[in-house]
Structure 1
Amino acid sequence: MRITIAAAALATVAIAVAATILVTTLRASLIDTADMSSKTRASELNAAAARGLLTDVIANIAEEGVGQVVADDGKVLAASENVRGAARISQVVPPRGEPEKLIIRNAPDDDETEDYRVWAVRGDGVTAYVGTSLEDEREVIFDLTRLMIIGLPLLVAVFAAGTWLMVGRTLRPVEDIRAEVASISHRRLDRRVPLPPTNDEIGRLARTMNEMLGRLEASSERQREFVGNASHELRSPLAAFRAQLEVASAHPAGVDWPSLAEDLLKDSNRMENMVQDLLFLAREDAAATPPSTPVDLDDVVLEEVARVRSTASVAVHAEGVSAAPVLGRREDLARLVRNLLDNASAYASSRIDVSLSAENGRVELAVADDGPGVAPEDRPRIFERFYRADPVRNPQNGGTGLGLAIVEAVAKSHGGTIAVADGTTGARFEVSLPTLRSERPAATVPVPS
């Protein structure tokens, strides 16, 4: 409705302006044409009088026009039918060669009077007066104006109706999209909005809406899977808790209480680690502010390497670690490196190799082990939450199944990526992060043996 009203108002103004210009232009054109014809006919009459060919009745005068040829002594030599026998219509005698325009009011016209626009042209001893009726000119303009006044509302009405139908047809898909979106609930995210057949803005809007609904559906599905997996992972240690406590409660005399306490402590540690991982992932999912604190990633890597060396049963080599400044959160980056090293130490046979370098605006961190590696079919899902590859890389090591998911979340929140690279043996995880532009030279960091 608003578009139709606005379009009709603009059309009314535009048509009114165009009509005014048309009427003004037409009036000027009529006047110019009539004036040219009058001056030409007056000159012809002067020429005819000079050659003695002038007749008493002047013909070829515009309809409702007037014409007279008057001698210098005031005698009317010739006249048009409507002023035959009348006195001269004007006393004005212009200089020779300078036609003069006259407005004559109440000139005789048969039995009536008329207003004329007359051109007076001086010849040899005579003056010719030829003009057109002002009333005739006014009638033409009046008829055209009346026609436009009647036609303008009709034209605007047709234009408004066409605009209403066109805009309504154009916006109908928008209303269909709105109605469909309004009916979609969190339980029916599989529904999609109708796609119009055109590839215009509304068609692109519909496709964008469907893509958004697809992302919401995928996110909701991942959330349900995540909650289900978390519930399953927490239920197992809780069930073990309950079973051991029920047995101990039923037979307290035969219970090895120190051993029971140790087992319960292990299960509680596993649940605590899982809850911490879940809270970390929830925080990363909700994080909206990009990290902006300078961090020397090489210091973080060397600290985590030293930690792993104190507990791991395999050799950890970090000779390839060099200076690598980045923007980030130190605690999160430490967790990324820690999870990669813990994952590698869980599957390595004899050694872990860590390298870190900065070049071409990127920081590249690689952690490789000489274990069984990651099967190609498992690589697309290795970073999913609670996903564990079968069978070799799935030992009962007490992990939560969230370590690599946390690595990917931290890398993405820092504007980076992580991938499993091809290797001859073992697994090689490569993390790429944007480097911090700095004047600090990329000197090799000494690694303690």
Structure 2
Amino acid sequence: MRARTTLGATLIVAVALVIGAVSFYAVLNSSVSGSTAQAAQQRLEQLGDREGGPDVRGIDALEDEFVQLLGADGAVRAASEDARETLGSTPLPVADDAVTMTIDGEPMLIVSDDIDDDQTIVLAVSVEDDAETLATVATLLAVAVPLVLLLVAGTTWFVTGRALRPVTRIRQEVDGITAERLHQRVAVPDSADEVAALATTMNGMLDRLDAAATAQRRFVSDASHELRSPLATIRQHAELAQAHPAVTSIGELAEVVSEEGVRLQGIVESLLLLARLDEGVTLHDEPVDLDDVALGEVRRLRAAGHEVDGSGIRAARVSGDPRLLGQLVRNLADNAARHARGRIAIGVTPSDQHVFVTIEDDGDGVPIEEREHIFERFVRLDEARSRDAGGSGLGLAIARGIAAAERGTVVVDESRWGGARFVITLPLSS
């Protein structure tokens, strides 16, 4: 990563420097050439003396300049000393625009101007100094650009290494954390920058992984215990019947096996449903009348001998999985039936964009400090720990899992009679 960062930064700077150097050289070349051409044109106008025409004898007396006066036929009528010595009678080229040519091994800029119908004055100005200046600038740029690139690369390598050193340390620390060492955390630097935020985020992730691993171990332990209990009961009765066939009847053994088999089946089905909910089960999305579901539970509980108030049920329709929504209400209804002393109430109340399903009883209620704890798996309160009263401890966990899968919630508070009141909140179908 350090090498890639350095290479990337160096390439970007290299492209910028090359473009800048080329642009600078082009602008400088245009400026120098323009200045020289302008100076030559001004000198040409001075020599032309537009009011009375050039003095031939004056041109012949010029030194250190290349000046020629040409006639209409192109012949040289007069020339400066340097022009005569170098070119003799050879005329300089005449053009509308300035041209550059080499005279006696020296680059010259040539400009010309018509004096009258039969005379043209031509001036050649040396541009050797300009060429040397531009060559010097080009050399400096050719040396400076690589040096700057080396400086940028070295600085980037140093700064990147220093900046990534804490990241490397975090990576090494995280790499050493295994499933057996999830309690370890990454040291958070005091820099209060992105690296510190990364360390904090990593610690948050480790907290969640640690909590998930702890919950998984507790779940496996509790599941093993719950499955072991009915299996042990079946085995004890089978061994008793085998050792003392005259004491234990076949009917009694069959009844025990049947009861414990049903309990095993319920636990396994609950575990499978929880696993599906954890994996994000694909739900059937279809209209469901919650009032019909609630009225069905009222009838079922009344048939079992419970006093159930269903007067608070109002018509409400949601979109979801009918089977799972039915199990959600049934789990809470069965929980109320186990803990109620005599009265149960089920209500369905639509409001704005949501519908509230309430299931309350007149039992002992749920202490405030336990109201979140009871939704964990295999959790039963102290007064309901027996298998007959407390169930498997999975019903409320399943209820909350189904509600979450249906984009809803389940909470518990106090009922009107001092018992428990479970409130399901689901979005109404549009």
Whole-angstrom CA distance in 1 between matches of 2:348 and 2:123: 105
| Equivalent residue number for residue 66 of structure 1 | 65
Q: Residues 93 and 266 of structure 1: is their aligned pair in 2 closer, same or farther, counting only changes over 3 Å?
A: closer
More divergent stretch after superposition (114-123 vs 266-275): 114-123
Distance in 2 (alpha carbons) for counterparts of 1:100 and 1:321: 100
Partner Cα distance (1:220, 1:296) in 2: 39
Match of 1:366?
358
Which residue of 2 is the match for residue 269 of structure 1? 262
Retained in 2: the 8 A contact 1:318–1:355? yes
Normalized per residue, the structure richer in helix is 2
Matched position secondary structure for 2:375: coil
Does 2:350 align with 1:351? no
TM-score, length-normalised on structure 1? 0.77
Q: 2:277 aligns with which of 284, 302, 308?
A: 284
Q: Deviations over 1:211-256 (max 9, x none)?
A: 3332222111111111111222333344444444555555544457
**Aligned position for 1:404:** 396
Unpaired runs of 5+ residues, structure 2, are none
Hey, what's the Cα distance between the residues in 2 that align with 1:19 and 1:376?
Answer: 74
- Could you say if the C-alpha distance between residues 268 and 105 of structure 1 is closer, same or farther in structure 2, counting changes exceeding 3 Å? closer
Q: CA deviation at 1:134?
A: 2.6
Distance 1:269 1:142, change over 3 A: same
- What does the per-residue CA deviation read over 1:359-383, in whole Å, with 9 as the maximum and x for residues that have no partner? 3222211101122211111112121
> Which of these residues, 157, 179, 182, is aligned with residue 164 of structure 1?
157
RMSD: 4.0
AA at the equivalent of 1:36: Q
Cα distance in 2 for partners of 1:242, 1:4 equals 70
Residue range with higher mean Cα deviation, 412-421 or 40-49? 40-49
Alignment of 1:328 onto 2:304: no
Q: Is 1:191 aligned to 2:188, yes or no? A: no
Q: Secondary structure at the match of 1:229?
A: helix
Matched with 1:106 is 103
More deviation, 205-214/242-251: 242-251
Question: Where do 1:48-447 residues align within 5 Å?
Answer: 66=65, 74=77, 101=98, 103=100, 105-106=102-103, 114-120=106-112, 131-193=124-186, 195=188, 204-255=197-248, 258=251, 262-263=255-256, 265-312=258-305, 314-391=306-383, 396-397=388-389, 399-424=391-416, 425-437=418-430
CA distance in 2, matches of 1:93, 1:332: 100
TM-score, normalised with respect to structure 2: 0.80
Paired residues of 1:45 and 1:69 also in contact (CA < 8 A) = no
Partner deviation per Cα, 1:81-136 (whole Å, 9 max, x = no partner)? x6798888985799xxx9974646426xxxxx644214456789998766531322
**Structure 1: 5+ residue runs without aligned partners?**
60-64, 108-112, 438-449
Q: Deviations over 1:32-78 (max 9, x none)?
A: 1122233334445667998x9x899879xxxxx736597999456x7
SS in 2 for 1:382: helix
Cα distance between partner residues in 1 of 2:127 and 2:385: 106
The code of the aligned residue for 2:318 comes to: V
Cα deviation for residue 191 of structure 1 reads 3.0
**Partner SS, residue 270 of structure 1:** helix
Q: Residues 197 and 118 (structure 1 numbering): CA distance in 2 closer, same or farther, change over 3 Å?
A: farther
SS of 1:391's partner is helix
Question: Residue by residue, what CA displacement relative to the aligned partner does 1:192-224 show, whole Å, maximum 9, x if unpaired?
Answer: 445466666665554444333322221111111
Query: 2 CA distance for matches of 1:411 and 1:169?
Result: 49
Contact (CA 8 Å) 1:4, 1:163: kept in 2 or not? yes
> Structure 1 pair 261/71, CA: closer, same or farther in 2 (3 Å)?
closer
Cα distance change, pair 278–142 in 1 and its aligned pair in 2 (3 A): same
Answering whether residue 18 of structure 2 is matched by residue 16 of structure 1, we say yes
The change in CA–CA distance for 1:102 and 1:175 in structure 2 (over 3 A counts) is: closer
- Separation in 1, partners of 2:333, 2:101: 111
CA shift for structure 1 position 290? 4.2
Alpha-carbon separation, structure 2, partners of 1:271 and 1:27: 93
Assess, with a 3 A threshold, how the Cα gap between structure 1 residues 29 and 247 changes in structure 2: closer, same or farther: same
- Cα distance in 1 for residues equivalent to 2:188 and 2:109: 68
Whether the 8 Å contact between 1:367 and 1:428 is mirrored in structure 2 is yes
